[in-house]
Amino acid sequence: MVQDLLHSQPGILNFGIFFILALVLLLVILGFVTYAILAERKVMGFMQLRYGPNQVGGPWGLLQTVADVLKLLLKEDTIPKLADRPLFILAPVIAFAPSFVVIATIPFTDKLQFADIGVGLLYYIAISGLTTIGVVMAGWSSNNKYALLGGMRAAAQMISYEIPLVMSVLGVILLTGSMNLNEIVAAQENVWYILIQPIGFLVFFIASVAELNRIPFDLPEAENELIAGYFVEYSGFRWAFFMLAEYVYMFAMASLTTVLFLGGWLPIFSFLDFIPGAVWFALKFSLVVFMLLWFRSTFPRIKADQLMEFGWKVLLPVALANIFLTAIIKELLSLF
């Protein structure tokens, strides 16, 4: 549907339609973020012998996050006196915008997709890297040493883990022969890539957790070391933007994992295809999100030097070996 719009005449009506569609997507994502945060708190609560939110919005605390966001909106917006003001204000925006932009290429079902571009995967990876600029900017402009350390850690981590991330999906691209996400899903008609590319999946999953800055790779924030890392000086809604970016990325990354390795909207067995694709997608997606939450309440944080070592000395070689192996297997298969 978006393809049709793209090919139609430019004009105020079409702009309006685009705008409204984007707004709807934003609202959907905000809704997800609201309940992802709630889910995180609930799941962690259950794993930690607690109840989690249970007051605002009934016994399940369904409106807890809404209340929290309202509180954030009402909070005083503080900017340190010696901060680099323009950068300080710009940083949350730069951190958040790419997270929203990458969602456009994710195919939720065969029909529900905003931009079906040929290099969808490349686009995703390229755009998501921009967020780091926002993070480093925030770290620098805060004029706070902890923030600076956090920003530096974020930059180092992004560079170290973006590479294995890209390398690990090369196997998938090799097998599919395309970078289009729709085609990647279609190629998993018979068997999901998680089964054909187990090594690739592992590397991808680890690297994606690192990209998301979640435990055990949450070094840029590292509450117990850097207090809150790069956003230590932020408050109110600027702070909320960073959190929003983080959760939107979680949404995007879980979606991407689903698409790349779990067969997207395809049913687990073909006779189950009476269940709509959106439900399948949601189920797989939830599973990935749950894994992330599970990690968070289980693992301790890794150390900065070990993080680098792990990225460069373990993940990257493994990912490269995976590419090599995949290429050989593919060639051998095509021989017969």
Partner 1 sequence: MLRTEEMLLNVGPQHPSTHGVFRLILKIDGETIKEAKPVIGYLHRGTEKLAEDLQYTQIIPYTDRMDYVSAMTNNYVICHAVETMMGIEVPERAEYLRVMAMELGRVSSHLLWWGTFVLDLGATSPLLYAFREREMILNLLNELSGARLTFNYMRVGGVKWDAPEGWVDKVRDFIPHMREQVKGYHDLVTGNEIFLNRVKGIGKYSKEDALNYSLSGPNLRCTGMKWDLRKNEPYSIYDRFDFDVPTREEGDVLSRYHVRFAEIEESLKILEQCVEQFPEEGPVIAKVPKIIKAPKGEAFVRIESPRGEIGCYIASDGKKEPYRLKFRRPSFYNLQILPKLLEGESISNLIAILGAVDIILGEVDG
Token code pair at residue 324: 């090599």
> One symbol per residue from 91 to 130: x for binding partner 1 (CB under 8 A), - otherwise; what is it?
----------------------------------------
Q: Within 13 Å and on the Cβ side, how many CA atoms surround 27? A: 6
224 binds partner 1 (CB under 8 A): yes
Out of 3, 14, 48, 78, point to the residue binding partner 1 (CB under 8 A): 48
Residue 49 sits in the site that holds partner 1 (CB under 8 A):
yes
Binding residues for partner 1, how many (CB under 8 A)? Answer: 30
Which among 47-55, 88-96, 165-173, 242-250 is the span making contact with partner 1, rule CB under 8 A?
A: 47-55
| Alpha-carbon gap, residue 139 to 226, rounded angstroms | 11
Tell me which residues in 285-304 interact with partner 1 (CB under 8 A). 296-304
| Position 149 contacts partner 1 (CB under 8 A) | yes
User: Which DSSP string corresponds to 202-271?
Assistant: HHHHHHHHHHTT-TTS-TTT-HHHHTTGGGTT--HHHHHHHHHHHHHHHHHHHHHHHHHHS-TT--SSGG
Buried b (16+ CB within 10 A) or exposed e, 20-47: eeeeeeeeebeebbbebbbbbbbbebee
At closest approach, how far in Å is the CB of 91 from partner 1? Answer: 21
Residue 218 contacts partner 1 per CB under 8 A: yes
What's the rounded Cα separation, in Å, for the pair 89 and 83? 10
222 near partner 1 (CB under 8 A): yes
If one asks whether residue 189 binds partner 1 (CB under 8 A), the answer comes out as no
What are the angstrom distances between the C-alpha of 87 and each of 93, 97, 137, 143? Answer: 10, 15, 7, 11
Q: How many residues does the chain have?
A: 336
145 binds partner 1 (CB under 8 A): yes
Please identify which residue in 305, 331, 335, 336 interacts with partner 1, judged by CB under 8 A: 305
Q: Applying CB under 8 A, which residues contact partner 1? A: 44, 47-50, 145-146, 149, 152, 215-216, 218-219, 222-227, 296-306
